[in-house]
Structure 1
Amino acid sequence: MSHSSDHLEITATVPLIQPPTWAVLQRHLIDVLRDAWQEFVDTCCEPDGSLRYVGAQQDRDGVDDFYEAFFNWPILYLIAGDEELLAQVKQSWEGVTRQLTDSGYLVDDFERGYDWFHQGESLILFYALCAADPADEAFRERALRFAELYLPGSPAGNYDAARRMIVAPHNGAGGPRWGLGTAWESYTTPAVDNMRRWGLPLDDLEGIESWDDLADPGNGRRMGEAMQQRLGRGDVTANLSSTSLVANAWLYSHDPRLADWIHEYVTAWSQRAAANGGIVPDSVGPSGEVGELHGGRWFGGHYGWTWPHGFHSVEPPALIAGINDKLVNGADEGLGMARDTLAAVLAEARVSELPADDVGRAPEWRQLLGADHGKHYQLIPHRYGRDGWFEWLPLSPAIPTWLWWTSGEQRDLDTVEQLRDEAGYPWAPMRQFRDKEEAGHEPEWFSWLRGAYPDYPEESLRVALGQVAHRLALLRKEGGLQENDLHWWQRVNPVVTEVLSQQVHGAPAALYNGGLPLARIRYWDAETEAPGLPRDISALVRSISEDAVSVTLVNIGARADRSLLLQAGMYGEDLIESVTYDRRDLEWPGPTRTYSPLADIPTVLTDEDAGSNRVRVILPALSTIDLTLRIQRRALLPQHQTYSTEPRWRSS
């Protein structure tokens, strides 16, 4: 394998006659985001980086809300290479961690014990920080220590190796944390009316047929007791997101115990799904039997098919686990589990109006689509209970998009295209919204990649700039000190990265409930050796497939040449076999006596072998280059990357 000094070197020769609008907007967005994150810190953070909060805290819930304030800031660092931003987000992680430790939520920097629907949200900041600066020994030590909590034989006792299961829905540094906490010891209205739109946590308790029955204190106590016993023990699909914690550690150490645990755990759940006709069940009882606490039924577990979110909280961890097993072990079982579960709900699709706003996630979809009540969409059932499928809502495009992005298989591409054709709403132009997951614009990006939305680059960046303006206006309106709204910081976080991830990294935003940050391409400034695009450089991934990635690089600066390393794969896992690029086929700039108008500069295509996971590209001032990388995916060993990391072959 070649060393860093042997990387193929390409110099751009095509002059930038007409700077593309997207390139200028992209650099403007990066500049605006620098001011935006600094204003958020000045407004919302204490000098140690912690958040300004003086309100009440709950028994177990809340850790994710503190970390989510900064969840995508390291992604901006990976794209723009702002060292001050990296220092600040580390300081805020440390400050928030001390803040939460003092409140009793954390033990040795890790969640004492809570569900992985929320732990996954907490940890996306941590994973992105590890990817951003793997040379930081403190974060490396934490990553390895956190993963040990889930390995066989760990004193924490979270994992039962004989049954291949995590033993409790709430788990963490304190080991299994039985039950669901004091907040739900009684589930009586009106105290829990904020959960009304999610319906009954358990739908099979005698005498409790509807939400209104919970107004009876006796019914509320019975529901709370049953929830503690039946939802607070055994394994649940949400725990599959813990594979990211272990995969993140493996990217540092390549400890085979970590890789083996991921594959063992994902395989166990894949086999349970296969035994259930392809649909992943949502719970495993203490003895290792599916549905043991729910009358033998495959549905009913905590954050499962029946309550509260159904598909929205079952499919993402299954897909996250499949992606992690594919990254670490090259295995496909987990992707098959996610694919078959997706196919099962698509088979039940119907065309109808959105349900009322008091049903599940219907309000979020109505805001996202900007739809009136009369419009019909393709809806899939998100939940399953004793009466079968219910709660029909649109399918989140992120799920099939990530499946196709990971597998590269035609059948998964066909699923995305079928969803586009049958969704009932246009996948272009760009819609002006921003949700908590910093995602949701996969349709517009996919349309661009498939050649159906040529205006995506400019329009998406304008939308992103509008998102920043809106968040800053909210921030300035309301100030920074919070008393009782733990979700406020995330709602005013002005750092937007979804469009930049799509354009620069060629990847959707990370799956929100615990996915690792991934990329088709990432970059290093060859002068400073920092991650991200050098100053003045813009990048636009134009197409991706299983064996190729095309990208345009532009230097909009008028004075300085820039040099960068372009890497295939976030973790250096893809081999660049060869590169095709455009080269100027004309003397430039010509004689001074020429007054003819400027025309397109003729170019010829040049092919060169690469044989590494990186290519060095030099962009003189006011130049551009189109490159197509022919790649072999996952040919190399994934590992956390610094500028000097050497590629390693993956063992057969």
Structure 2
Amino acid sequence: MGKHMVSVTASVPACEPPAWAVLQRQLFSVLDETWRVFEDRYCHPDGGLRFDGELKGRDGADDFYEPFFNWPMLYMLGGADDLLDACKKHWNGITRQLSDAGFLVDEYERGYDWFHQGESLLMFYGICAADPSDDTFRQRALRFADLYLPTSPVGNVDGSQRIIRAPHTGAGGPRRGVDDEWAQGFGAGLTNMKPYGLPLEDLPGIDTWDDLADPVNARRMGEAMNRRLGDGDVAVNLASTSLIANAWLYTGEDRYRDWLVDYVQAWRDRAAAAGGVIPDNVGPSGEVGELHDGRWYGGPYGWTWPHGLHSVGAVAVVAAMNAALVTGDNAWFDLARAPLDRVLEEATRGPVRDGESSMASTWLQRLGPDADADLQLVPYRKGMHGWFDHQPLQIAFPAWIWWCSGDPQDRQRLDRVERECGYDWTTVHAFRDKEEAGHEAPWLAYLDGRNLDYPARALGMALGQVARRMALVHEDASSVRTDDIHWWQRLNPVVTEILVQLTTGAPAAPYNGGLQQSRVRYWDADRGRPGLPADVAALVEGLDETRVGVQLVNLSTTQERRVVVQAGAFAEDGIDHVVVDQLDDGYPGPNRAYRADEFTTSTRRIDVRDNHLLVILPPGTRLGLDMRVRRHQFTPSHPTFDRYQEKQNDDR
């Protein structure tokens, strides 16, 4: 952050603080209480989780980090000063805990798929963004990213073939095969996997799930999975680009950017050869379909099994976001557009019925009564018999594409999805799932000016979700788990989706490994740390490719607050100029009057030509900022806060 910056002082009184501002500050206050309760109840003093069970196989590391995944984000938004140290304590404690269990090598995943690695790294990415000056985490970020460069001695990457060598990789190198339990026999007794169907469709004599009840068939399936789903590159490995981008944000080194770009381009080339839709598997020799009889679908966490669009669509968005971040070029989003357009072509209509799709239970909770409507249902999966597993489209995918690109055609796709989806985008459904996302539709309607009370309703909903989580914590009979390693993430009381939307003007980061991007970010100018100062509430009222509108309110009636507004999560955007509102006259009026006179305001333009703006908020004031911005004007980086001097200008 530069030493000099333009400043503006608010003068318009916040006579009747808006409900959204009061609720936003209440949410910050409640969250700063509840994470402490969770910590005291479920964590050891060193930060690890109270767990006395046994971890087996390869799966599980992500579930220990996930209960804390959004805690660093709360700190960056303006959470308690000591929350950052708490985040680091828990990351270190969990890392020691998993290292002792044999899941990590040199503090990093020994070897597992990137669908889950992406989830486990969200907390780490958040800490890196929250405190880039911490050299220990900086060195970790570089060391972890180096594992996924072609020059790494662990051998995860084959640079000549432009592939990651296996679906399971990590600090131990390529870990071929699948989980040991599955390799020995994937049988009908694995009832939790039944909704996803057969992992491989082309084994003779295994046509239905019930055929796996035969131990011979179960063993055949396990052996085939170990051989065909445990080798070569897969689309979900694209989530590793966030690890590379995170290191590049620290150093700006070409070696990180060059491999990220080359790897994503390799998948773009494969998608073009397959007709546009990204394939999900590449064999050890670099050939698409090598392990699946030439088919571009069939890889693990790919189009056929288990999640389809939910996993492939997510990593396509993540990879495009990362490539665009390091290059400033939005053409990368073609990788994410094609899958959406393809499934939209195959859409049908109908309600969501329990048991009729692999994620029906998720949609029943997300949509509530709207799940019974005549909905647009797109196929999430592609198999040997065509497209199947129809469900509502995840709005986050087209939303992120439009948000990043600003392309009118991407906006048209989003508008088409709203017209045809079959439910009302202004409804705020009261739910909070593990991804802490899913409220993109009513937020987008608000940005369009059609859902004006969304901020207050959404913040009220968020407070209700915190209250429910705390009720579940209070009802929990034990603070120690011996079996269910997903328990803690279902009780995490920290909610940040709505705060991210309203204060930074962005959807929540893609859950399977995305970096949180934003249109604005805030710094407390007096405490020299990220986030909104105490008593200050922020609301992004509107945005497009060239504009961001923000309201700032100081709810304190005694204290001045100073906040630095930054353009872009990584200071990558520029503020050309800003139009602000200012008080003309009429307030507070004479002291003998029993009520304030009507006051008048006007606007003025201030040239900024920088990526930061200092806003001074005297007690009880508000300020509207209409910022004209230029996307990708500066080289992105992990910004740190430096003390500064206000730029002197007689016009301000």
Q: TM-score range by the shorter chain?
A: over 0.9
Give matches, 1:356-367, under 5 Å.
356-357=354-355, 359-367=357-365
Corresponding residue number in structure 2 for 1:282: 280
TM-aligned CA deviation for residue 595 of structure 1: 4.1
Q: Aligned partners of 1:602, 1:373: CA distance in 2, in Å?
A: 48
1:384-430: CA deviations, max 9, x gaps? 00000001000000111111111111111111111111111111221
Corresponding residue number in structure 2 for 1:434: 432
- Mapped pair 1:508 → 2:507: yes
Kept in 1: contact 2:587–2:596 (CA 8 A): no
Kept in 2: contact 1:523–1:564 (CA 8 A): yes
TM-aligned CA deviation for residue 588 of structure 1: 2.5
Q: Aligned partners of 2:83, 2:432: CA distance in 1, in Å?
A: 22
Deviates more, 1:82-91 or 1:212-221: 82-91
Q: Aligned partners of 2:361, 2:429: CA distance in 1, in Å?
A: 17
Give matches, 1:6-405, under 5 Å.
6-357=4-355, 359-371=357-369, 374-405=372-403
Kept in 1: contact 2:114–2:236 (CA 8 A): yes
Corresponding residue number in structure 2 for 1:552: 551
1:314-364: CA deviations, max 9, x gaps? 111111000000001123343111011111111111112224426310111
Q: Aligned partners of 2:133, 2:21: CA distance in 1, in Å?
A: 31
Q: Aligned partners of 1:497, 1:105: CA distance in 2, in Å?
A: 29
Where does structure 2 lack aligned partners over 5 or more consecutive residues?
645-652
Corresponding residue number in structure 2 for 1:523: 522
Q: Aligned partners of 2:372, 2:107: CA distance in 1, in Å?
A: 49
Pairing partner for 2:634 from 633, 636, 639? 636
Q: Aligned partners of 2:595, 2:351: CA distance in 1, in Å?
A: 59
Q: 1:645 to 1:386 in 2, by over 3 A?
A: farther
Kept in 2: contact 1:188–1:216 (CA 8 A): no
Q: Aligned partners of 1:590, 1:329: CA distance in 2, in Å?
A: 54
Pairing partner for 2:612 from 614, 622, 626? 614
Kept in 1: contact 2:406–2:545 (CA 8 A): yes
Q: Aligned partners of 2:126, 2:353: CA distance in 1, in Å?
A: 36
SS at 1:69's partner residue? helix
1:458-490: CA deviations, max 9, x gaps? 000000000000000111111421111111111
SS at 1:203's partner residue? coil
Q: Aligned partners of 1:449, 1:188: CA distance in 2, in Å?
A: 48
Kept in 1: contact 2:188–2:210 (CA 8 A): no
Q: Aligned partners of 1:29, 1:472: CA distance in 2, in Å?
A: 14
Kept in 2: contact 1:81–1:530 (CA 8 A): no
Q: Aligned partners of 1:372, 1:499: CA distance in 2, in Å?
A: 21
Q: Aligned partners of 1:459, 1:533: CA distance in 2, in Å?
A: 21
Letter of the structure 1 residue corresponding to residue 539 of structure 2: L
Letter of the structure 1 residue corresponding to residue 531 of structure 2: G
Q: Aligned partners of 1:4, 1:559: CA distance in 2, in Å?
A: 30
Q: Aligned partners of 1:609, 1:260: CA distance in 2, in Å?
A: 36
Q: Aligned partners of 2:201, 2:20: CA distance in 1, in Å?
A: 52
Kept in 1: contact 2:32–2:79 (CA 8 A): no
1:524-543: CA deviations, max 9, x gaps? 11111010000100000001
TM-aligned CA deviation for residue 373 of structure 1: 7.2
Q: Aligned partners of 2:505, 2:512: CA distance in 1, in Å?
A: 20
Q: Aligned partners of 2:357, 2:370: CA distance in 1, in Å?
A: 16
SS at 1:324's partner residue? helix
Q: Aligned partners of 1:492, 1:329: CA distance in 2, in Å?
A: 39
TM-aligned CA deviation for residue 370 of structure 1: 1.3
Q: Aligned partners of 1:94, 1:467: CA distance in 2, in Å?
A: 28
TM-aligned CA deviation for residue 593 of structure 1: 3.4
Kept in 1: contact 2:115–2:512 (CA 8 A): yes
- Mapped pair 1:536 → 2:535: yes
Letter of the structure 1 residue corresponding to residue 538 of structure 2: A
1:31-63: CA deviations, max 9, x gaps? 000000000000000000000011121210001
Letter of the structure 2 residue corresponding to residue 221 of structure 1: R
SS at 1:552's partner residue? strand
Q: 1:373 to 1:447 in 2, by over 3 A?
A: closer
Corresponding residue number in structure 2 for 1:469: 467
Kept in 1: contact 2:112–2:170 (CA 8 A): yes
1:619-641: CA deviations, max 9, x gaps? 00000010011111111010001
Corresponding residue number in structure 2 for 1:562: 561
Q: Aligned partners of 1:91, 1:390: CA distance in 2, in Å?
A: 44
Q: Aligned partners of 1:69, 1:593: CA distance in 2, in Å?
A: 56
TM-aligned CA deviation for residue 597 of structure 1: 5.5
Q: Aligned partners of 1:56, 1:211: CA distance in 2, in Å?
A: 29
Kept in 1: contact 2:497–2:508 (CA 8 A): yes
Kept in 2: contact 1:267–1:333 (CA 8 A): no
Kept in 2: contact 1:318–1:334 (CA 8 A): no
| Number of aligned residues | 643
Q: 1:509 to 1:643 in 2, by over 3 A?
A: same
Deviates more, 1:471-480 or 1:25-34: 471-480
TM-aligned CA deviation for residue 563 of structure 1: 0.6
SS at 2:606's partner residue? strand
SS at 1:4's partner residue? coil
Kept in 2: contact 1:270–1:333 (CA 8 A): no
Deviates more, 1:317-326 or 1:581-590: 581-590
Kept in 2: contact 1:120–1:242 (CA 8 A): yes
Deviates more, 1:361-370 or 1:393-402: 361-370
1:465-524: CA deviations, max 9, x gaps? 000000001111114211111111110000000000001111111100000011111111
TM-aligned CA deviation for residue 107 of structure 1: 0.5
1:408-461: CA deviations, max 9, x gaps? 111111111111111111112211011110000000100100011011010000
Q: Aligned partners of 1:465, 1:6: CA distance in 2, in Å?
A: 39
Letter of the structure 2 residue corresponding to residue 61 of structure 1: D
Letter of the structure 1 residue corresponding to residue 125 of structure 2: Y
Deviates more, 1:71-80 or 1:470-479: 470-479
Kept in 1: contact 2:189–2:213 (CA 8 A): no
Corresponding residue number in structure 1 for 2:600: 602
Kept in 1: contact 2:368–2:429 (CA 8 A): no
Kept in 1: contact 2:588–2:596 (CA 8 A): no
1:261-294: CA deviations, max 9, x gaps? 0100000001111111110000000110001100
SS at 2:585's partner residue? coil
Q: Aligned partners of 2:224, 2:351: CA distance in 1, in Å?
A: 35
Letter of the structure 2 residue corresponding to residue 141 of structure 1: Q
Pairing partner for 1:425 from 423, 426, 440? 423
Q: 1:490 to 1:374 in 2, by over 3 A?
A: closer
Kept in 1: contact 2:436–2:497 (CA 8 A): yes
TM-aligned CA deviation for residue 372 of structure 1: 7.4
Q: Aligned partners of 1:49, 1:598: CA distance in 2, in Å?
A: 55
TM-aligned CA deviation for residue 189 of structure 1: 3.2
Q: Aligned partners of 1:539, 1:21: CA distance in 2, in Å?
A: 12
SS at 1:185's partner residue? helix
TM-aligned CA deviation for residue 4 of structure 1: 3.2
Kept in 1: contact 2:425–2:442 (CA 8 A): yes
Q: Aligned partners of 2:595, 2:435: CA distance in 1, in Å?
A: 51
1:567-590: CA deviations, max 9, x gaps? 001110001111111011114322
Letter of the structure 2 residue corresponding to residue 465 of structure 1: L
Kept in 1: contact 2:586–2:600 (CA 8 A): no
Kept in 2: contact 1:26–1:538 (CA 8 A): yes
1:4-46: CA deviations, max 9, x gaps? 3421110000011111011011000000000000000000000
